[in-house]
Structure 1
């Protein structure tokens, strides 16, 4: 239930934290609010605000016989335009692993030569629901900063208690506005060992200092004058390009024992294994019966694996579920079977159990990060590396097939597209656990092919088309089509196959192999394009470039972030135009092409008997297109757009 809570319900646990916050908000008033505003408005004329300070302080210490972690985040934001007033509404998040201990929030309102402090007194707590997540234990405390306007400043300090040393956060050295000063301080008890890793910091000046004071080691990073980041289309997650510091506890040295937290991947696997080792110890008669039916008469092991994998894809509904430690423990296979739904861990649990029931032992529960996470186990052996679970089948030594049933449409042998190129942690036992690399599926296995026969009828084009697709293109299209009503299905066909202009109509179509996972998707369709052929005197003008791939994809010159692609692919398109009786070819455009290792196309015109064959092939051979390739990409776009303007000319004999 949503409740209103006065601020004094939050308890400051330590005198240190109270002092820490008060030191932050004791703003220097040597400059008037107007002077401060004018200074930064001149420096950042196009920005809606500037963070004068962005500071995080983390204290990792002992409280009795347990580890205590307090994390205080502080921001001092100066508002430069009316647009920034949208930032007055703020949220502080917490979950099972991180509880809010204290929030202090004030607005510094210009009042002549000084500021007047206006405190936030009331906070509203509510459950959060993330997109695509069936259940989430995330909660937020919401509050609105009072009297926000240009020249005003907001100062917010949020202190959280982190319950498990495996779940420390990251510190980002950029934000949605420029930052004048950023500082990360780790105050760590000498008997607690930590490590850290810097990401994307090559282009900033980052000062580091390590000192000892009493029973503590102090780690401190500072940076000045940091640029803001801009959200850009088709960009990967911010952690791929924003400068940030990941810090984590590696070992805790108690008086009588040592606890390894993240010294190595083995420590992470030990923890994961302990969470999952008590699952599926009992058999389920009904589940065993289903396994028996799926494998009856099947002699080849790989066919048994495929049958079980496809059954889970088709019969178990994927739901995302995050609830504290339960978000790390797989559900019982019997529970998933009975309910017919599960999260990634539940779906992996039932696949693993069913395979074992079928006598297939060389299968392993597997932890893995999606492509939204750029980290590797070898770099950071903590839960920050992964957010997903699958099953790995090892048919022969060194050969791995990754089974991810959360993607209902991926064929056997294809990992889901979101885990391509990622490291996978296979649960083979502490001494035998293995980190394996998920392959990136070659573009030759992800293809679509269109073949179209056209004839001219008055000013219209009438045609028959054939479409086929395998790999991810098939899976993505099946995902969109499956379950559509006939009416919506036809709307989709018109939109997907549209050619030439907005007077394109699919009159009839037939879909084959939609749910045959091991067969290519095939679609046959009849269509017409009204008013497309241009008649001028004795000549007919037709632009054969009816599907202009890449035409609007020029990359802006000031783009900073890489461009993400779901999968590697190639597309082959052929159009055969019947030359009308009494006409001959007056002009065929020149062929055009551009090819490199990452992307390319070719356009070709050819006369074959009484037809013109137009070929347009193109491909993308990357998952992430980095900045150094942007110039070549735009060069290709310029050339292909020039080719798209070309027309063929037919002339009466």
Structure 2
């Protein structure tokens, strides 16, 4: 198992006497600007030289707010680090309140003619947008960024959500040289600190008087140095789930003569959401659609048929506006009128219509992959709702926001965690498991005619189901045909594609198939009269997606899958098989994956059969060394060549 490492004075983290070394805005040195690489990670394209975060409560005119002050200094080493010149600040909001950012100050420093020169961010270069139902975003890009630049920015976030403290994050995808983070909470207000990540880091805790609120506060102060980067490799759900950080949860208030507990269970969370007007009252208001549903379901008798009909109706008639949400953005009536809404508008409408049709349906609240895994019971950090129905003893999960989702085939982003069931009618409020995504299959059948000059041509037919079909449909619709085929030709080693056809790509039910003719300039290498052929041709795997030596977070494929390749290679007249790759069966521990490879040479053709399976959507990091080696051996085997010689 991967163990958390406790770090002491001589290790990665250590306590600093920062009071004697406080870094101020504008104190960038010439030495920092001249630095060519980060001392502790020479591969880093950028590094956080210093970050200071300070969170505290401030009371003015009987109004208490949570204030978070941020100051950050970033060094850019090369062009790959230019992306860190853009800063995005997420601001949480609900129906009645929202966070605001104030006092943004940002400066770029460069060396010009041997002297330090400054470029200050202009106010009109700061942009605010709504990115989801629960978040606004303030974004800016630093001016005049070059290789070697040092960037500084500071700002203040003012939040009305005084007990909803954002995660203290200590690890990023670039290294951190120094960081100080502190939080001041009123004495008697007990917070549970929930760490995440793969190291232990402990705060310095002490009590002091805070004159801003007129009472004693408990200070938790974190001082960190030389934090390594944690970069996102292929197949990760959300890397922020695994980077070192701490969450703060208000558990209780213990003051003289007063004790109040705020600790929540997931049942409490579900019951609170279920008690809101959207879930308690709005879901059963059917006047907006009852006549329409009656006409739609005329002649339908089974609950399963009614569910499929209503699901199809919502998908085809209501467009998702791109916003998440567990509460209505428009409400049922306005959503039906405008034919558009957020995730809650669409999926709660689906629940309401199913209930009207007599189907046992309820909402399930989730946190999507983009929104992190909730590490403790929380209302505000759940961001999405899907529909859930039970017919007989069989559960059905639905998300009608995606054009190509199906019943029990949810968008991959939904498979992040568990769900919170809200069944107000039965007074059931609890956490439940979502159905795991089923195995998606990709089947390829290829006929190849190989020529003596090494060129080849042939036909490829493929069939995809479940999430593979969903991904295909999304990609197919997102581009015009010329761009789509150009991208496919590039993906398939620059073959030329003709007579392309896709079937059932516009719907969402059942498998999708494609077929095309192809011409390949590089079907084989002709060396000294012999033809050297890679049997899988353009379908072979060429690059291992797993490159780092160790991985501290799970591998998330999104869904289990099975790829089947059937290739018929017609040998050129006058040639015979001189040698062919040996068969192979390769498996991962605990039946997590399987690779079967077989080449069957005959007089005029060679038949190749390959099975490649990943049987779990998520694979623990303890299996990473096996997975990396598994892919390495698959690539090596598929690279082995078939040799044809003249008769």
TM tier, smaller:
0.7 to 0.9
User: Does residue 1:641 correspond to 2:605, yes or no?
Assistant: no
Higher mean displacement: 121-130 or 367-376: 121-130
Q: Report the alpha carbon displacement of residue 197 of structure 1 after superposing the two structures with TM.
A: 0.9
1:301 corresponds to which of 295, 300, 303: 303
1:450-529 superposed matches below 5 A: 450-456=444-450, 459=453, 460-482=455-477, 485=480, 487-488=482-483, 490-491=485-486, 494=489, 498=492, 501-502=493-494, 504-529=495-520
Instruction: Report the 3-state secondary structure (helix = DSSP H, G, I; strand = E; otherwise coil) of the residue aligned with 2:538.
Output: coil
Question: Counterparts of 1:307-386 in structure 2 under 5 Å?
Answer: 307-321=309-323, 328-360=327-359, 362-376=360-374, 379-384=376-381, 386=382
1:544 aligns with 2:535: yes
Which position in structure 2 is the counterpart of 1:20? none
| 8 Å Cα contact 1:252-1:260 kept in structure 2 | yes
The answer as to whether partners of 1:448 and 1:468 remain within 8 angstroms in 2 is yes
What per-residue deviation string (whole Å, max 9, x for no partner) do you get for residues 515-547 of structure 1?
454432223333343463556787554331213
Q: Among 587, 590, 605, which residue is 1:595 paired with?
A: 587
The equivalent position to 1:410 in structure 2, one of 401, 405, 415, is 405
State the partner residue of 1:68. Answer: 65
Aligned equivalents of 2:149 and 2:642: distance in 1? Answer: 62
Provide the C-alpha distance between the structure 1 equivalents of 2:608 and 2:449, rounded to a whole number of angstroms. Answer: 13
Query: What is residue 432 of structure 1 aligned with on the other side?
Result: 428
Aligned 8 A contact 1:507 1:526 in 2? yes
Corresponding residue for residue 8 of structure 1: none
Assess, with a 3 A threshold, how the Cα gap between structure 1 residues 438 and 225 changes in structure 2: closer, same or farther: same
Show CA shifts across 1:394-417 (max 9, x none): 2245x4321111222122222322
Does 1:394 find its partner at 2:386?
no
Aligned length: 608
Equivalent pair of 2:450/2:523 in contact (CA under 8 Å): no
Residue 575 (str. 1) matches residue 574 (str. 2): no
Taking the aligned partners of 1:585 and 1:630, their CA distance within structure 2 comes to: 38
Compared with structure 1, are the counterparts of its residues 609 and 420 closer, same or farther at alpha carbon in structure 2 (3 Å cutoff)?
Answer: farther
Unaligned 5+ segments in structure 2 are 1-18
Q: Secondary structure of 2:391's partner?
A: coil
Matches of 1:494 and 1:117 in 2, distance apart?
A: 48
Q: In terms of mean alpha carbon deviation, does 170-179 or 623-632 score higher? A: 623-632
Q: CA RMSD in A?
A: 4.5
Residues 507 and 433 from structure 1, CA distance in 2 versus in 1: closer, same or farther, beyond 3 angstroms?
same
The secondary structure found in structure 2 opposite 1:185 is strand
User: Secondary structure, in 3 states, of the residue corresponding to 1:366?
Assistant: strand
Q: Which runs of 5+ in 1 are unaligned?
A: 1-22
What is the match of residue 247 of structure 1? 248
Partner Cα distance (1:630, 1:257) in 2: 51
SS in 2 for 1:427: strand
In the alignment, is residue 159 of structure 1 matched against residue 151 of structure 2? no
Supply the distance in 2 between the matched residues of 1:41 and 1:573 (Cα, whole angstroms): 46
How far 1:476 sits from its partner (Å)?
0.7
In 1, Cα distance between equivalents of 2:357 and 2:320: 23
Q: 2:282 aligns with which of 266, 279, 282?
A: 279
- Specify whether residues 275 and 212 from structure 1 end up closer, same or farther in structure 2 by C-alpha distance, changes over 3 A only: farther
CA contact (8 A) 1:450 1:572 kept: yes
Greater shift, 642-651 or 57-66, is seen at 57-66
Equivalent pair of 1:540/1:649 in contact (CA under 8 Å): yes
Query: How do 1:124-273 and structure 2 match up within 5 A?
Result: 124=124, 126-129=126-129, 133=131, 138=136, 140=138, 154=152, 157-165=154-162, 167-175=164-172, 178-190=175-187, 192-200=189-197, 202-209=198-205, 211=207, 215-229=215-229, 231-234=231-234, 235-250=236-251, 263-273=264-274
Q: CA shift at 1:255, angstroms?
A: 11
Q: State whether residues 193 and 247 of structure 2, in contact with CA within 8 Å, keep that contact through their aligned partners in structure 1.
A: yes
Gap change, CA 1:140 and 1:466, over 3 Å in 2: closer
Are 1:321 and 1:327, in contact at CA under 8 Å, matched by a contact in 2? no
> Could you tell me whether the CA contact under 8 Å between 1:454 and 1:463 is conserved in 2?
yes
1:55 shift after superposition: 3.2
Bigger shift: residues 446-455 or 510-519 = 510-519
Aligned partners of 1:577, 1:143: CA distance in 2, in Å? Answer: 54
User: Structure 1 residues 253-262 or 472-481, which shifts more?
Assistant: 253-262
Match of 1:54 among 51, 56, 67: 51
TM value normalised by structure 2 = 0.79
The answer to whether the 8 Å contact 1:190/1:217 transfers is yes
Secondary structure, aligned partner of 1:290 = helix
Q: Structure 2: how far apart are the matches of 1:51 and 1:242?
A: 15
Q: Distance in 1 between matches of 2:421 and 2:346?
A: 16
CA gap of 1:359–1:301, structure 2 versus 1, over 3 A, is same
- Cα–Cα, structure 1 residues 629 and 353, in superposed 2: closer, same or farther, change >3 Å? same
Alpha-carbon separation, structure 2, partners of 1:550 and 1:333: 48
CA distance in 2, matches of 1:522, 1:147: 48
Give per-residue Cα distances to partners, 1:583-624, cap 9 Å, x unaligned: 544333211332114444222012468542101221234444
Q: Is the 8 A contact 1:592 1:640 kept in 2?
A: no
Q: Distance in 1 between matches of 2:527 and 2:178?
A: 67
